[in-house]
Amino acid sequence: MTQFTQQTTFYTEDHEWVTVHGDLATVGITRYAAEQLGDVVFVETPEVGKTFKKGDEMAVVESVKAASDVYAPLSGEVIDANSMLADSPETVNEHPEGEGWFCVIKFSDGAETRNLMDKDAYFEFCKGQ
């Protein structure tokens, strides 16, 4: 089983960031995604204790414009969710890659990180969008 002794951040094609450490992954949406969405008005974070397979709809982020799904970047169980977003969804715009995190997943298969992107690859990916 893949373990991450050092904190490492990966990115998905759906514009999520995933910071893994040990067998835990903190998940949020990228600054690029937050800017594309515009003002975030509501976030539905996943319930603690729920398990997801990689690619499942896990959370929803709503801007003034529309509702967008957030997909599980790795398979596993949700062990924490950011309760601050219920009252302060604008945190996602202000600090998308910090205080605006969505949830923490205890992931079951570290090998799933292999088809995620590193920072440079994600930067190139965004340029092509």
Partner 1 sequence: MVPFAGYEMPVQFEGVKPEHLWTREHAGLFDVSHMGPCFLYLKEGLGQPGAHEKISALIERLVPSAISTLKPGQGRLTVLLNDEGGILDDLIITRMPDANLDGMLYIVVNGAAKHDDWALIREKLAGEAELQTADDRILVALQGPEAEAVLTPHFPEAAELSFMRCAHVQKDGERYMVSRCGYTGEDGFELLLPNNETGLAYVRGLLADERVKPIGLGARDSLRLEAGLCLYGHDMDASRTPVEADLQWVIQKSRRERADFPGAEKILKQIADGPAEKRVGILPLERAPAREGTEIHVEGQLVGMVTSGGFGPSTDGPVAMGYVRADLATPGTKIDLMVRGKARAGEVTALPFVQPNYKR
Q: Report in angstroms how near the CB of residue 51 gets to partner 1 at its nearest.
A: 17
Q: Do residues 117 and 14 make contact, with C-beta atoms less than 8 angstroms apart? A: no
**Interface contacts to partner 1, rule CB under 8 A:** 38-39, 41-42, 44, 60, 62-67, 86-87, 89
Q: Can you give 41-89 as a three-state secondary structure string?
A: EEEECCCCCCEECCCCEEEEEEECCCEEEEECCCCEEEEEECCHHHHCC
Bridge partners (DSSP) listed for residue 39: none
Residue 67 or 121: which CB sits closer to partner 1? 67
| The pair of three-digit structure tokens given for residue 121, joined into one six-digit string | 């690859």
Residue 47 or 120: which CB sits closer to partner 1? 47
Q: Report in angstroms how near the CB of residue 23 gets to partner 1 at its nearest.
A: 29
Q: Report in angstroms how near the CB of residue 66 gets to partner 1 at its nearest.
A: 8
Residue 16 or 44: which CB sits closer to partner 1? 44
Q: Report in angstroms how near the CB of residue 41 gets to partner 1 at its nearest.
A: 4
CA distance 14 to 56: 12
